[in-house]
Structure 1
Amino acid sequence: MKIIKKNPTDCDAIILMEELSKTLESITGDSGKNSFDPSDVCIPRSLFVIAYDEAYEPLGCGAIRPIDEDIAEVKRMFAKAKTKGVGTKILLHLESEALKLGYSTIWLETRVINRAAVSFYKKRGYIQIPNYGKYINNPKAICFEKKLL
C-alpha cells in the first residue's frame, strides 16, 4: 500500500469523499460535507492523502488542516469497507506528517452515534476533550486529541 499526497479535487479524492459522505449519512444522518472545505487542505501546513493498493486502486483518504500553530485537525478520514488496517495506516501517516509540519497535537471530531469511529480513535491513543469550534454545544459531536510529542 502507498499513501500519496493529492489534491482534494482529484477524481479519486472526490469518489472517496462521496463514499464517506454516504456512509456518514447512513450512520449519523449527516454527510459531514458542511464540515469540510477542500481549500482548507490546500494551504501551508495542511495536506490531503489517498491510500492505494498495489493495483493503484484507491482504498481510503484523510487530511489535516491547521487549527493554530500547534494543533492540526484530522478531516475526511475514511477507509473503504473490508480494507483492514488501511484506516490505521492513513491515521499514522497523518500523525507523522503533522509532526514534520511542526504540530504537537491533533484534534478531530466525530459523532457520538458513530461508535466504530469513536472506538477506532480511542484504540489509537486519542482522548476525549471538550468540544471545540463549531462543535461546542453540539451534543451529537465528540472531540478527541492526541499529543504527538
Structure 2
Amino acid sequence: MEKHFELSDSEFKQQFINCELNPEIFTHEAHLRLAWIYIKKYGIEQAETNIPRQLREYVKSVGAENKYNTTLTLAAIKAVYHFILKSDANSFREFIIEFPRLKNNFRELMACHYGVDIYNSQKAKMKFLEPDLLPFD
C-alpha cells in the first residue's frame, strides 16, 4: 500500500495545498489521487485550473521546479476524468483498482494520445500541448 493512503482525502489535499506533503509519498499514484479528489470535489474545469497552479507552488517548495510538466499534468487530469465518467467507485482506492492502467500503464495510455515525447519536451513542460493522435474527449 502506498503511504499517501495513510492520509484522508482532506488531509492529503490540505497538506498538498500547504506545501507540507512529504515529497517521498507524492508518487505517480498520489498525483492521480489528487486529480481524483479535485475532480470529485470541484469538477473538471476547477481541477484543471487549481492543480497546475498549486502543483507549481508545491514543486517550487520542494526544490523540484524542473520536474513540473504542464502537458503531463493536464493530460493526467483529463485521463482521470475520462475514467471517472466510467466508474462507480466511491473512493480513490476503489477507482485505482478498477482502472489500474492509470497507475501501471500510464505512459502507454499517453502514447495513445501523443506521438511526441511529452515527457522530455521543453515546450510540453511550459504549456499544454493538445494531443496530436487522439483527443481527450
TM-score by length of 2: 0.32
Higher relative contact order (CA 8 A, sep 6+): 2
> When you count helix as a share of all residues, which structure comes out higher?
2
TM-score by length of 1: 0.31
> When you count strand as a share of all residues, which structure comes out higher?
1
